[in-house]
Chains A and B, each alone.
Chain A
Amino acid sequence: MPYNAPCTGKLGRGGEELGAGMAVTEGGADANIGARLVVTADVRYLVVIRQFVQAAGAALGASQRVIDDLVQAADELCANTILYGYSSQAGEIEVIVRREGDGLAVALRDRAPVFDPASVREPDLDAPLEERAVGGLGIFLSRKLTDELRHRARASGGNELVLVKHALSGSAGS
C-alpha cells in the first residue's frame, strides 16, 4: 500500500522499525496484535490514517461495515486532535489497530493537552438539531459509530483514545 507521508511503524509486538514510508503490518503469529502507525499530526495525512485503519481492519478479519465505522470515527477524532489538541502545532499521532475480545479496537495516542471527549455532553437525539450540534458533530459521530469510546490521560503526557466495536461484523452503533 503506497503511503507518501512522513510516518514510521513497527511490526506488531515492538518489532522492526520500518522508517519513513508505510507502516501497515500484520501481527505475525498473534493476529490480535494488529498494526501500528505513527504519523505527523497534519490534516493532509488523515487519508493515511483512514487507509491504515481500513487495511489493518481488513487484515484482522473485520467486516467492511465495522471498518467503515472505525475509519470515520478515527478520522473525526484525529482531525479534532490535529486542529484543536495540537492547534496545528507540530506533533504526532500513533494509531494502533488490534483485536479486542470478539471485536476490533483502534487506539489513538497523542501528546496534545489532555481532553476527554466524554466531557462533551451526550447529544439528545430527540432535541432540536441546534442543541445536538452544540455537542460537537465530530465527537457526536464518533460516539454514534462506536460501541465504546474510552479515554485516559497518558502518564507521560497526552491522551489515549480507544475506539471499540464489540463484534467483527455488525451494524453501525451496535
Chain B
Amino acid sequence: MEIRVEQILGSAPVTILRLTGDLDSASYRELIDAAQQACEAGARRLLLDLSAVGYMGSSGLIALHRAVLLARGSQPAESEAGWRAFRDMGEDAAQGRQGAVRLLSPPPAVRRVLETAGMDQYFEIYADEAEALRAFAEATGA
C-alpha cells in the first residue's frame, strides 16, 4: 500500500492521507503508522482519500477506527487486531458519528464493507474533496 500525505493549512488544518492499493490484514498497519505519524506531528483532522483502494477487509475497518482514536489524541490499546480491537471499535462506534476522521470517495466495494459492518454510521463520507474540507471548517466554526 502506498500512502501520500498532504497538509491543508488554514484555520482548520486538515491532513489528507491518500491511499493506493489494498487495505487488508497485510497492509492495515501502514495506515495506522501513517495516521500515528501525522497525529504525532499535531494533526487532529484527517481526511482519508479511499478512491484508489481496491479492496478493504475488516482489518481495514480496524485501521480506520485506530485513526479516529489517534486523531482524538486517545491512547489505543496494544492489540490492534482481533477480538479486543473489534470490541473497542464497536464500543466507540456506539457513541455515534464522529468528525475527527472523514472519508473521501470510497469505491462501491469499499463502501459496501463499511455498510455491511454498520460503520457507515460512524464516518462522514464525501464524494467531493472541497466539500469535505468545508465540513471540517464548519465543524470547528472556522
Contacts and interface: CB of A to CB of B under 8 A. Distances in A.
Contacts of A47: 22, 24, 26
B81 A83 contact: yes
Interface stretch (B35-43, B45-53, B84-92, B98-106): B84-92
Given A43-B26, A172-B112, A79 B86 contact: no
A136 B83 contact: yes
Interface of A is mostly: helix
A129 B57 contact: no
A137 B26 contact: no
A72 B57 contact: yes
Interface stretch (A55-63, A110-118, A140-148): A140-148
B69 interface: no
Contacts of B87: 130, 133-134
B7 interface: no
Chain A interface size, under 10 / 10 to 19 / 20 to 34 / 35 or more: 20 to 34
B9 interface: no
A122 interface: no
B85 to A, nearest CB: 9
B86 A141 contact: no
A128 B93 CA distance: 9
Given A43-B24, A43-B26, A79 B90 contact: no
B117 to A, nearest CB: 6
Interface of A: 43-44, 46-47, 50, 68, 71-72, 75-76, 79, 82-84, 128-134, 136-138, 140-141, 144-145, 172
30 contacts: A43-B24, A46-B26, A50-B22, A71-B55, A72-B113, A75-B24, A75-B55, A79-B24, A79-B25, A83-B81, A84-B82, A128-B90, A129-B90, A129-B94, A129-B118, A131-B90, A132-B118, A133-B86, A133-B89, A133-B90, A134-B86, A136-B83, A136-B86, A137-B89, A138-B57, A140-B117, A141-B57, A141-B58, A141-B113, A144-B116
Given A82-B25, A130-B93, A137-B86, 11 more contacts: A50-B24, A50-B55, A71-B55, A79-B25, A129-B118, A133-B86, A134-B87, A137-B62, A141-B58, A141-B113, A172-B112
